[in-house]
Amino acid sequence: MISAKPLSGKIALITGANRGIGLAMARLFASAGATVIMNSRTVGSLDALAAGISAEFGVPVQPSYFDVTSAEAVKAGFMAVHKEHKRLDVLVNNAGILRDALIGMAPEALIDDVIATNIKGVILCSQMAARMMARNKSGSIISLSSIIGRVGNEGQSVYAASKAAVIGFTYSLAKELGPQNIRVNALAPGFIDTDMIKAVPAEKHAKIVGNIKMGRLGKAEDIAQAALFLASDASAYVTGQVLGVDGGMLV
C-alpha cells in the first residue's frame, strides 16, 4: 500500500529549485511529507518560496544557496545540511541550463557553462550526497537528463552531450553505489512547458507537439510525479534506470 505521505521523515535536497520543474518537485515533495532543502545560486530567490511552501504543507522547507559548479560551494552547502539534519535521503540533480548553438558557432564560454552546470554540477553534488548516504546505507540520487540526451537535436549538440553524459554517469554510479543500498536513476523529460521553451518559434512548437503521441506538452508536475516515485520507497528495487517522461515522443 502506498502511503499518503511517501516521503515522511526523509530529507530531500533539490538543486535549481527556484522555478519550473525544480519548484514543482519542491512543492510535491513537501506535500508528500519530506523536509525539503531548495537550492539556487541566486541568494534570496528562494526565501519567500520556501516559507510559502512550508506554511502550506506544514513541513520544514529551507533555502540553500550555492553554485553547483563550484566544488568548494557544493561542499559547504552539503556540510550545512549534515550539520543540521545529520543525514540526506534524497538528492535531485535538477539544476541545468540550455544554450542553443550550431556547433560551428558555439563559443568556448557557452560550452564551458553548459558542461559545468549540466554534468560537473551533477557529479559534484552526487559525490557529496553519496558520502552522506553511505553512512546510513540508504538513499536515492535522481538526475535530470533529457530526451535530447537520448536522441540528439540539431543546434543542441553541446546540450545533448551534457545530458547524454548524465545518463552514462547514472549507469556507472548505480553500479558503484548499489552495494551500499543507494539508488541512482535519471529522468529524461520530453517537451515540457517551462521557461526553457518560451523562445521556441510557433511553427517549430506546433511541429514538436504534433510528434507527441499524447498530444500535449508535458507539465512540470509530470516530471515531479516521476521524481516522487524514484525518491520514495515505492521504487526500492529500482536503480540504474533512465525513465523517459515524454508523452510518447520516442514511441
Q: Which residues are catalytic?
A: 159
| Residue that the C-alpha cell 508523452 belongs to | 247
Cα–Cα nearest to 223, from 196, 198, 199: 196
Question: Per the structure block, which three cell numbers stand in for 109?
Answer: 564560454
Report which DSSP code applies to 179. G
- In whole angstroms, what is the distance from residue 193 CA to residue 191 CA? 7
> Phi and psi dihedrals of 62, rounded to 5?
-125, 140
> Phi and psi dihedrals of 243, rounded to 5?
-95, 115
| Residue that the C-alpha cell 520544514 belongs to | 60
Buried b (16+ CB within 10 A) or exposed e, 179-192: eeebbbbbbbbbbb
What's the residue count for the chain? 251
Q: Are 183 and 239 in contact (CB under 8 A)?
A: yes
> Phi and psi dihedrals of 17, rounded to 5?
-100, 15
